[in-house]
Amino acid sequence: MAEIEKDFRRSVVYQIYVKSFCDSNGDGLGDLPGITSKLDYLATLGADYLWLTPFYPSPQRDNGYDVADYCAVDPRYGTMGDFDELVAAAGERGIGIMLDMVLCHTSVDHEWFRRACAGERRYQAYYILRDGRGSSGPGDPGEPPTNWECAFGGSAWRWEPRLGKWYLHMHDPSQPDLDWTNPEVRAACADVVRFWRERGVRGFRFDVINLISKPEVIEDVPGSGGACRALVADGPHVHEYLRELVERAGIDGMVTVGEMASTDLENCIRYTRPEDHELSMSFSFHHLKVDYAGGDKWALADPDISALRDILRSWQEGMQAGGGWNALFWDNHDQPRAVTRFGGREGIGERGGSWEHVGKMLAAMSFLMKGTPYVFEGDELGMTNAGYDSIDKFDDVESKNAYRMLLERGATREEALDVVNERSRDNGRTPMQWTAEPGAGFTTGTPWLAVPATHALVNAEAEVGVEGSMFEYYRRLVALRHASDVVALGDVRFLDAGPAAPRVIAFERTLGEKRLVVACSFDGASCELADLGCDGMPVLLGNYDGVPAAGVLRPYEAVVWGEA
């Protein structure tokens, strides 16, 4: 097995949504052998690690993030032998496998929860159980213990008659939260991570890991609302629990990343400082809420680029000052496609349209900031939102709940569908677009989720090896991340693009005598750029053909000045 690059600062992680990447047997679902069949494609791109979303046995109420067995492979995705083959074949290409660990909650179908419901007190202590408010005694549920609401809408508590208790679920009711105050739970979770490490896994992504430590007193959220994620996030013992997990599982020094819900800068510095021995890097999501009207995901607004700039500056410069490390991304399996989101709606699949310029501009910004870039499957092709014509084509439970909520608030079906098309998590879950053929080359059968019509123009067959394509642009950025010290290691500082460029984000990277200047326009019109101190510097990279005009950025233009 080839040696795999360990320096996460120079690495690029490629996220694979297993269900949607490549189907090897025609059943309409992606699988592990399908991933193995595409390793040469991923090696051509230059990926260092492949983050695989959950492929464990699951009832699929939340697309695999409701885990029924942490140490097995769901037969719909293959066998443990298929997994071992994938690890070995990836290693031969210098690619490490990174697994998704969902340790905040289990499925109700997990053996631990089933045994708890069967009356075993040992396993009842694995979960957060409470009596109902106003209950008259055993058998009377009363009301939920608090006013907490779960992430998908509705109460965060579910009455379970077999337990005679309410259990906490921060996400879907089928996902009861684990009680990390129980040492046995913490030990069991470390055993899970160790199991996969010993099987050859080279990195781990931890799902909503900053929600594992609940408040020591569980009580109502103040006010009339019950949104409780901010109350639960970064809880009193979370850093202690993470350090213990890392030590027990033997993963200190491996590439690790935490998904941090409703977090803050101070905690993410602590999560990712090397001296604290917690994680390599963290995902935060504040920059992907700049188009939420009034903070409501399901209320549409144009992206606030001023707010985006402030957030990126705060996290880039703040993590740098504190010794932390960012995971850099625009898309994942829980987000709509950024190309659509930030203006790439014209000329899809063709050279010269906003689709091409937005996609390349976003890629340049992500790869050239300080942190480790993540490519979500299809980003490198410029995949777009699905644009479904019916709510029946959606699969995501959150999206269906939101559609119903919007109708209840008075929206028409057309208005509700428009909102869901913009915001649905299914936008990031549509099948990977390999070819222009029916099924997009993803499957010979019926895909589990409808393929967007854009696959006829946006697909790997049309882009790999084609000069000027989105794929080849990403490939160049990956190579730059690998080779350039200033990109991988340099300091970052944001620059003022000037009053005539309010929708431009500019920054510099410096290392010793080396300096890069990056300017990225989120504007659909040309704009004048202030002096960024790059006169006489060569153009290293751009997303338009030819030399950029002096002092002007064209619509959605990205320009990088300097020498790598």
Of residues 207, 234, 278, 379, which has the active-site annotation? 207
Distances (CA, A) of 259 to 101, 208, 226, 328, 521: 10, 5, 22, 12, 28
Report the candidate in 200, 207, 205, 204 with the shortest Cα–Cα distance to residue 177. Answer: 207
**305-338 CB burial, b ≥16 within 10 A, e <16:** beebbbbbbebbbbbbeeebbbbbbbbbbbbbbb
Using the Cα atoms of residue 446, residue 68, residue 230 and residue 306 in order, give the sign of their dihedral.
Answer: negative
By residue count, the chain amounts to 564
Query: Quick one: which of 324, 368, 372, 328 has its CA closest to 506?
Result: 368
Q: How many CB atoms lie within 10 A of CB 257?
A: 28
Stated as kind and residue range, the H or E segment containing 206 is strand 203-206
Token pair of 118 as six digits: 């069967």
Q: Which of 23, 82, 172, 259 is catalytic?
A: 259
> Between β-strands 327-328 and 372-376, what pairing exists: parallel, antiparallel or unpaired?
parallel
Q: Are 442 and 432 in contact (CB under 8 A)?
A: yes
Categorise residue 143: left if φ over 0, alpha if ψ from -120 to 50, beta otherwise.
beta
- Residue 422 falls in the annotated catalytic set: no
Residues linked to residue 519 through DSSP beta bridges, in sequence order: 506, 559
207 is annotated as an active-site residue = yes
Beta pairing partners, 373: 328
Residue 251: both structure tokens together: 């993963």
What residues contact residue 422 under an 8 Å CB cut-off, 6+ apart? 300, 336, 340, 341, 385
Alpha-carbon span 559 to 482, nearest angstrom: 20
Residue 52 in tokens: 């695989």
Q: Could you write out the three-class secondary structure of 435-471?
A: CCCHHHHCCCCCCCCCCCHHHHCCCHHHHCCCCCCHH
Q: How many helices (H) and strands (E) does the chain have?
A: 18, 18
- CB-CB contact of 303 with 311 (8 Å): no
Amino acid at 118: A
Nearest CA to 12 out of 359, 461, 484 is that of 484
Report d(CA 420, CA 396) in Å as an integer.
10
The residues carrying an active-site annotation are 207, 259
